[in-house]
Amino acid sequence: MKDTLNVAAPVIEAKGLNLIFQTADGPVHALKDVNLTINAGEFVSFIGPSGCGKTTFLRAIAALEHPTNGTLAVNGMTPDEARRKRAYGYVFQAAGLYPWRTIAGNIRLPLEIMGFSKPDQAERVARVLDLVELSGFANRFPWQLSGGMQQRASIARALAFDADILLMDEPFGALDEIVRDRLN
């Protein structure tokens, strides 16, 4: 009998991934022959100069951009399937909070959409607000918070539904050094 290892499927897998944008100046190869496997529990950072494709790759994983060719799987699904099954949370470079909703309301929004019960929503919102040290700001509106605090609220929103994968695009750029160290 042959011994086999029980190896879990990767949470993200790209093979020969290319993404080309058509512009007035001609094609832009934003991603070229990307091959990457990320397994459960791994923490991966993409580091490089502006315009090298970091955000584009995250957007492809999140089904916000569609590769020109190659394959991309998220938890064994296409990015579109993973988006529909809410397999990931996404923190954008900008906080993207709705100005007419309180901070708690912004964090609660994906939970409402996903059908979480009201008590579960309240517990989750309180938990993630505490995690990002914004407990005292639940009933404030985004315009009443600093840019760094808004970004922390955005991080809390992405954490609220306990997704298997957390995609973060420069999430700590608007945070001061002390808060950044605590959240890391």
Q: Do 79 and 10 reside in the same domain of the chain? A: yes
Q: Do 50 and 125 reside in the same domain of the chain? A: no
Q: Do 1 and 22 reside in the same domain of the chain? A: yes
What pLDDT is attached to residue 9?
80
Q: What's the whole-model pTM score?
A: 0.80
Q: Where are the beta strands (DSSP E) in 1-144?
A: 12-23, 26-38, 69-74, 88-91
pLDDT in tens, 71-101: 999 999 999 999 888 889 989 888 899 999 9
Q: Do 61 and 102 reside in the same domain of the chain? A: no
Range of the domain at 112: 87-184
pLDDT in tens, 42-76: 999 999 998 899 999 999 999 999 999 999 999 99
Number of independent structural domains in the chain? 2
Q: Do 17 and 28 reside in the same domain of the chain? A: yes
Q: Do 69 and 122 reside in the same domain of the chain? A: no
Q: Do 19 and 95 reside in the same domain of the chain? A: no
Q: Are strands 26-38 and 12-23 parallel, antiparallel or unpaired?
A: antiparallel
Q: Do 45 and 101 reside in the same domain of the chain? A: no
pLDDT in tens, 4-29: 555 678 999 999 999 999 999 999 99
